[in-house]
A and B are shown apart, each in its own frame.
Chain A
């Protein structure tokens, strides 16, 4: 089962929920857990999980190289490029690498076979373990712009498929998604069995929650909400959820001890073990939601 954690608004507690959820359920020997930090621009889960990283593999895209002895400056490559990344001048060609998506269209279009493709590293995927949890995180190289979805796509190829009927062990993959609602978020949550949306009871939290709900509806992913740093204003979120028939799965109150622990990179279940049961409960609620709707 794949559970992703998303939010719309940044800083609402995605990583907190993802980290504490995986730590809480991985105690159970009938679950085989995997954790993917797909916030490749700003990956933070490792700060809390402190994984042993045993492998680092670069992620690269192919980008064009022109062989000028073959090139006739016909301009077909520039015409084929949908991203305006190639400009053909009288006797030179300019390639704007930051616009290149690595689609290979120019190389196919070249009648002289003058364009080869070379790989360029855009990020790295690091993997290892946290106890018996398999840990995978992606890191975008500094200055890269359009390549986060490529790294996320590569990471998600490592997701373990659910066990066979006979096997008693259940694979659970927890995905920590980036903030926002655009392509890196879509790439992260796509194909999840369930998405937890983490929000806070403020107009910002609500506004961005609504956007995130629209994304999940479009992707047809079942969802539930966690209200973080809650308190007297929770109804701003719960009224909306009630209208939209989205279940509220958990509420975490505003708590200075949790905030201080967070600032030091300490998961909340370590300072307040009663939360471990609450996160297990969160997982069971998700299982129930999916059973009711017949998704599993």
Chain B
């Protein structure tokens, strides 16, 4: 069984478009959406939720105002500026609290407790293309990395039960905690980039992250014909770093139309961009043999 993650560094380069099409093309696989704080893959694969689970990420501190003696010890120890001193009262800013419990342990009168916070949900679903695991992080919550780990683990469990050949993971943008959680230990990370200065800058940083965690990477250039000079620069960078460029997708209105219709582009039409995604998938399969 091979696990493939689609990432990009920069957002909006086409991760979900490619992942959804791989969902159509790959036989015997499990799909996972690890972009848990702005998930979009469900808009293309239309999962029917079979099982729903609560995600409990982090408990946060709260101050019992009746017990509190306003000594201010909590404010002094909190390194996250989460204790707000109004002059008459102390209270916890839930959005800043990281749940470290230091204030709770230091409070001399035991006025600080922990509130369990539901931080989101995750789902096991069925799509016409096969099983899918996805999630929704609670609004303005943290710990997306932990939720990503759960989604990946569940996808793996299902893949093992089913004897699946592939797990295909739609990754989040950026290089921080949810990305690292999506990336570690996969068999292949496909980096989707675009020929813009921003795309190139961000691709270089995500390549460094993948190297740091010893994850093999390959590159896909999306909308390559928007700036051929920059596409050549991506080729050159990839060559110098011994990274294979798996394909070049042209800019295509049909991609936008397919998203609008909620149909993976390889199923929506048979134009140049669809053909390129099909050959990219063939190369992915070949490279994992």
> A interface vs B, CB < 8 Å?
8-12, 15, 39, 41-42, 44, 47, 62, 80, 82-83, 101-105, 108-109, 140, 142-149, 153, 178-186, 190, 202-204, 207-208, 211, 214-215, 218-219, 233, 236, 259-260, 262-265
Contact = CB atoms under 8 A, between A and B. Distances in A.
Contact of B9 (A12, A42, A145, A262): A42
Contacts, number: 183
Contacts of A219: 95, 140
A182 B137 contact: yes
Contact of A146 (B95, B105, B145, B262): B145
22 contacts: A10-B8, A10-B11, A10-B12, A42-B9, A44-B197, A44-B202, A47-B201, A82-B100, A103-B79, A105-B101, A108-B102, A142-B212, A147-B176, A149-B142, A179-B174, A182-B144, A182-B178, A186-B95, A202-B256, A202-B260, A208-B40, A233-B260
A145 B139 contact: no
B49 interface: no
A82 B137 CA distance: 20
Contact of B201 (A44, A146, A178): A44
B247 to A, nearest CB: 19
A171 to B, nearest CB: 22
B175 A41 contact: yes
Interface string B1-23: 00000001111110010000000
A236 B259 CA distance: 13
Given A11-B13, A190-B95, A202-B260, A41 B174 contact: yes
Nearest to B100: A103
A264 B174 CA distance: 21
B12 A11 contact: yes
Nearest to A14: B11
Contacts of B186: none
Contact of B227 (A80, A146, A179, A260): A260
B227 A264 contact: yes
Given A11-B11, A204-B40, A146 B102 contact: no
Contacts of A108: 77, 102, 105-106
Nearest to A217: B139
B81 A211 contact: no
A15 B198 CA distance: 10
A8 B11 CA distance: 10
List the 9 closest A-B pairs by CB distance, nearest first. Answer: A10-B11, A11-B12, A103-B100, A41-B174, A145-B177, A183-B142, A263-B196, A263-B227, A265-B197
Interface residues of B, number: 60
B209 A142 contact: yes
Interface string B84-125: 000000000001001111100110000000000000000000
A40 B97 CA distance: 20
Contacts of A207: 38, 40, 43
B230 interface: yes
A264 B12 contact: no
Nearest to B212: A143
A11 to B, nearest CB: 1
B37 A180 contact: yes
B193 to A, nearest CB: 11
Given A10-B173, A142-B212, A263-B195, A181 B95 contact: no
A219 B79 CA distance: 21
A184 B259 CA distance: 28
A247 B194 CA distance: 31
Nearest to A236: B260
A10 B12 CA distance: 5
A180 B227 contact: no
B250 to A, nearest CB: 14
B239 interface: no
Contacts of A208: 38, 40
A249 B260 CA distance: 23
Given A10-B173, A11-B13, A145-B177, A42 B137 contact: no
B145 A145 contact: yes
Contacts of A218: 139-140
Contacts of B176: 41, 140, 144-148, 184
Contacts of B175: 41-42, 140, 142
A170 B25 CA distance: 56
Q: Please indicate which of the listed interface residues B140, B181, B195, B227 has the most CB atoms of chain A within 10 Å of its own CB.
A: B140
Contacts of A9: 11-12, 38, 40
Nearest to A62: B79
A140 B106 CA distance: 31
A104 to B, nearest CB: 6
Given A182-B142, A204-B43, A207-B43, A44 B227 contact: no
Contact of B10 (A44, A104, A180, A263): A44
